[in-house]
Structures are given as structure tokens and as C-alpha cells.
Amino acid sequence: MSKDSTNGISNGHSPHEYTVPLQINGKEVQTNIKYDVVSPETGKVIWQSSSADKADAIKAVEAAHAAFPSWSKTKPATRRDIFIKAADIFAASADEYAEIMMNETGATSVTAAGFNVPSSIEMLRDVGGRIATVTGYVPVAAEQGKSAIVYKEPYGVVLGIAPWNAPYILGFRAVIYAIAGGNTTILKGSELSPRCFEVIGSVFTKAGLPDGVLNVISCRPQDAAEVTTALIEHAAVKKINFTGSTAVGSIIAAQAGKNLKPVLMELGGKAPAIILKDADIKKAAHWCTLGAFSNTGQICMSTEKIIVHSSLASSFSTAFKESISQIFNPEEPCPVLITPAGGTKNKTLINEALSKGAKILTGDLDSQDFAGTRMRPIVVEGVTKEMDLFYQESFGNSVSLITFESEEEAIEMANDTEYGLSASVFTEDLAAGLRVARQIESGAVHVNNMTVHDEANLPHGGVGKSGFGRFNGTAGIEEFLKMKTVTWTD
């Protein structure tokens, strides 16, 4: 890497003069075509990024393919040491990397420095420590005199596609489980946060990852379809993982299916939080506030529907409004969405719900703080199944408040969705919490905690249109290993 590989904030360049390179086969690649990277907070260009075309995408695959024979034979200790060193390097520049994320995505310091960066460091260390624990096994063959062994082997080249909303966590996650298993990778990052993804590549290069094992590219939106198709259809690419919207995930899964390639999908959500009649109201209000409005609601696990027992509706509403004002102080700077389109979508969903009888409990659609990329928390009560807001993922700073009478009704409303990524249950009765959790159709359910919950050691993924397959922990590494059965006769 050149001396300017990741540090445009501190490398002597004015930020707008810096151009984010592609990273192919261990080298920085500046392309003729570039695009502006705009701060969602200021609306100004903060730097430019190189934009990959089809030829660049193919070069990235070829580099990964050439690196695979050697990398797939490395010992677990070698891989582990690189992962641990990468974690240390990332930690050493944590503040700078958090600032890059804040500039590109509009994230707060709490989200970037307090969550994304430390969670990424923990994930790197967790995966590094697990590499040696992945083993094959020796089953007993059916016939006398025969034996068998089952090997677990890497696929080859893996394509990981990651979004902007948690670029470090989701960017690392898109490649590190595959790399840990002996695969080589291409990380195609969102065009909205290319510099965050550049950081990922640079950190691994500095940690000693061999050239070609990780290649990092991004491209202009108008080139995304051609570039992504070229990557998926390339014969050397053996598996794809995608984190992002259900709509785009469906397209990628279809392309992969036409090429008979396996995929891991982590897609959208409509996470419910059920508040049973014995719940601790203040605790529920606190966690629902964080679950709904952290990162301006732009998290796939964000709480979208709060389903509260009717006997608690009034007291919970009061506690919820107090919690929102305490955690997201209206005197503080207004939360920021990544693009104005997010605000437009939320306003459309809320207005449609209001026209059908819903009411705003707190928040103001007409406020100057609901314009462009800015949006303060809005709570809509009286949301019913006749409203789009009940079913559609808002992916913004809004949440619906719905009441129920019976446990069965609450479960039915929680499950009345195409999605199934995360959910919460609030109760002082653990048996009741576990009983309800078992009946919610979701990849994860969290009792007495918010829906936004992702730990490096816990399998993470969804059901339904929230996707399939699992990241994290040993399950995450296993996703990128295929089994080979070998038998022999004595």
C-alpha cells in the first residue's frame, strides 16, 4: 500500500483531494472513472472514490483465484496470528477509523466509536481464536472392513457484498469467516462508504495477509449491476454472501441460482418487541428507545413494531416518551439519515397511516428537523394491518405502537410479516418470555433486551425474507466450508 492508503484525514491531503483506491492483489488501483462521496450530514463532497468496472471486477476474481491454492493450505496458527494482528492494528487507529465512518455515513460517535469499531475488534479476535477448532470427523462406515473420514474444505473464491450502515462490522463479516476457513475473497462495498471498506483491506495488508486473499472494490450505482453480475457469473467464484435490502438480495440470489452457486443472505427486517402485561415498563421503554432509534433506525434489526399489552398502553406511552427525550435529547443535533430518500419513505408511510386513523404519539412530521437527511424520532400509535406501516420496513427514525389483549394475539401480530430477523419480549416471568420466544418466527429473540443485538459468538441470520444462512461464531466459519467424504476398504 502507498502512504496514503487509509489516512486522508491525517495524511496531509485536504479531505476532498483524497481518492479512495480499489485494492486488488495487494495493490492500490486508481481508476479513470471516479465518483464523489458526499457527507449525509453536510451534503458536501468529502472525498472521491475510484469506481470499478467489469474489467476491474474480473481482475479481483483472478487475484483471489491465484491466491487460493497457497492460502487454503496455511495452518490455523498462521491465520490466527494474522487475525489477531489485524485486530490490534484496527484498535490502534480506532478514533481515526470511527471518524471516517462518521463522515461517510452520518453516524454518531456512539454508533461509530462506541459500537462499530469495538465490535469489529472483538469479531476479529473471536474468529481468530476459533480457526483451530474447526475440524472434520470420522464416522463409522456401515460395512465391516470399510472406513470413512469427512473433511471440511474451503470453497475457493467467495464474494462478499456489504452495505454502508455498519460498514466495519458488516464489511469485516462479509469476508473474515470465509478467509478464516481458507477461502480467498472479494469485498464489494457500498458506494456510500468506500473509505470504510478501504480501511478493512488496509488493516489486513498491514497484518500480513498475503496478496490476493482479500480484494476490495466499489463502484458507481450505474455500474453496479454489470460489475456484480460479472462477479457472480465468474467461474472461479464459488459462493456469495450479501447483506442488504430484501429487494436487492432477491436479485442477487436469483443470479446466483441461475449459476447454481450457494448464497448466504442477511436481509431486511420488521422486528417486533412484545411487552407482556408483567413487564418492567421503564426497562422496556429504555430498550425500545435504543432498539428503534439507534443509528436513526437504519439497522436491519431495528425495532419497527412495539406490541404492548392494552393494560400497559398508557403507562408505557408515558415512559416511552420520557425515555426518548432523555436518550435522544431534542436540544442535541438532529439525527441524520444516509440519503433524503429514507426520510421521504418514512414520511410517505406515516402519512398513509395517519390518513387511515393512526396518530402521532411523539414527533413532528412538519418540523424543520424532518427535512433532507434529518429526522428526529417519531412514534405512531394506532397502527393497524390496513396500513402499509404495519408491514413495510421503514428503515428510519420511526416506530409503530400497537396494543394487544392476549398472548396469542401478540404472537400472531409479531409473526404477521414476511420478515424474521430479530425480535424482543419484555416480561418479568422468564418462563413466559421463553414460551413466547419459541413461538416467534425469527432468527433471534431477545428477552428483556432490544432487538438490535449481534454478538461475535452468537449465530446471526434470519428466516423468511430476512434471508438464510448464519454469520458469526463457529457457524459463520462453517458456512464457508464444504464437506468431502472419503472412504476406503481395509
Q: Which residues are catalytic?
A: 266, 300
CA nearest to 175, candidates 165, 163, 184, 164: 184
Alpha-carbon span 295 to 99, nearest angstrom: 15
DSSP for 456-476, please give it.
TTS-B--SGGGEES-BSHHHH
Task: Provide the 3-class DSSP secondary structure of residue 428.
Answer: coil
Element (H, E) at 16: none
Cα–Cα distances in angstroms (integers) from residue 71 to residues 185, 215, 216, in the given order: 11, 14, 17
DSSP for 201-244, please give it.
HHHHHHTTPPTTSEEEE---GGGHHHHHHHHHH-TTEEEEEEES
- The length of the chain in residues reads 490
Residue 438 CB contacts under 8 Å (≥ 6 apart), including other chains: none
Cell matching residue 208: 500480513
Radius of gyration (C-alpha) of the chain in whole angstroms: 23
Phi-psi region of 201 (alpha: psi -120 to 50; beta: other; left: phi over 0): alpha
Contact 297, 394 (CB under 8 A): yes
